């Protein structure tokens, strides 16, 4: 079978380094390290989006980053002579594109015009549990009742944090609704993308999704440029460049490769580190204060998300 065939489970051989005792590390540890690299790349997304929206419109950031990444993806696919995916695969790629190329970038860009990066990171901390839920629905798995209980508790923790930050019950900020929508979009894209990565390859999956989303995102970017030419500082342009090249493209190389090597459920738990890192970067890069509300809210959501993933991993008695 040829290396670039879409039926290949892994399009590249996984070369495992040899330890000092002469043995190779397990595939699980390899998948976790790739996943950790992807999470480290993604952890800058929220604070750098917050930085970029100070000088660029959220529509341009959400669409423009996909346009830049789409050009890189098309070039990579052409240079490596990748075959077109099977017709039945395009619908699944549309789910990935709609989730992580269109939905998450646009919704978070608009949300972060109104709330701090640390606030956004806490709400987005629901993503690991949401990804596990999307994978369950996708594979028609029947988890234990404890999974749904912990998932509900984590959702309530995120909502309670959002309410407190917005001024109390009944005062949920519109930006929090966008952040919750972004979580749903990313969860669907991550779950479907993780499954597709085992068929198309890790970077090929996000590359084809970017190519599929390129025409509508280009139209949105051109529309926004015609309406309002961008005016930003060098730091804000640098933040946009990171979002386009790393968050929208290179980060997925590592993340989807980690999910493809798997086990997917264990690798996805590494996402629990992402909100912690994002809050730290927001403090270091943006000077945002880390309040007790942020710390307590973040810990509550992260612990519930972690419990949900772990409960799912345990077999039924």
Higher pLDDT, 150 or 243: 243
- Cα 273 to the chain's mean position, in Å? 13
pLDDT in tens, 214-248: 999 999 999 999 998 888 899 999 999 999 999 99
pLDDT in tens, 259-273: 777 666 667 667 778
**DSSP 8-state secondary structure symbol assigned to residue 26:** P
145: Cβ–Cβ under 8 A, 6 or more apart, which residues?
none
Is a pLDDT exceeding 90 seen at residue 22? no
Q: Which two tokens stand for residue 19?
A: 């330890």
- Cα 241 to the chain's mean position, in Å? 17
Is a pLDDT exceeding 60 seen at residue 285? yes
- Cα 237 to the chain's mean position, in Å? 21
Band of the pLDDT at 280, cuts 50, 70, 90?
A: confident
pTM for the model: 0.79
pLDDT in tens, 176-224: 889 999 999 999 998 898 888 888 887 899 999 999 999 999 999 999 9
């Amino acid at each position: 079978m040829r290396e670039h065939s879409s039926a290949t489970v892994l399009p590249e051989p996984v070369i495992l380094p040899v330890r000092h005792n002469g043995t190779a590390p397990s595939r699980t540890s390899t998948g976790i390290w790739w996943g950790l690299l992807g999470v480290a790349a993604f952890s800058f997304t929220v604070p750098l989006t917050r930085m970029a929206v100070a000088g660029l419109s959220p529509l341009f950031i959400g669409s423009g980053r996909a346009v830049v990444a789409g050009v890189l993806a098309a070039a990579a696919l052409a240079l490596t002579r990748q075959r077109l995916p099977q017709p039945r695969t395009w619908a699944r790629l549309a789910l990935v594109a709609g989730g992580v190329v269109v939905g998450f970038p646009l919704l978070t860009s608009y949300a972060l015009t109104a709330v701090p990066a640390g606030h956004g990171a806490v709400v987005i901390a629901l993503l690991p549990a949401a990804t596990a839920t999307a994978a369950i629905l996708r594979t028609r798995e029947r988890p234990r009742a404890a999974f749904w209980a912990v998932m509900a508790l984590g959702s309530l923790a995120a909502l309670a944090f959002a309410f407190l930050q917005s001024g109390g019950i009944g005062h949920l900020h519109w930006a929090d609704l966008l952040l919750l929508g972004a979580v749903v979009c990313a969860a669907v894209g991550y779950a479907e993308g993780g499954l597709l990565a085992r068929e198309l390859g890790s970077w090929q999956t996000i590359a084809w999704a970017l190519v599929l989303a390129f025409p509508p995102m280009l139209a949105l970017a051109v529309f926004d440029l015609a309406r309002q030419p961008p005016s930003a500082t060098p730091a804000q342009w640098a933040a946009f460049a990171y979002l386009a090249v790393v968050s929208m493209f290179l980060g997925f190389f590592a993340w989807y490769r980690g999910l493809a090597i798997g086990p997917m459920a264990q690798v996805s738990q590494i996402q629990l580190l992402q909100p912690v890192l994002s809050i730290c970067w927001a403090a270091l890069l943006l000077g945002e204060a880390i309040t007790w509300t942020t710390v307590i809210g973040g810990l509550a959501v992260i612990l519930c998300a972690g419990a949900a993933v772990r409960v799912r991993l345990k077999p039924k008695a």
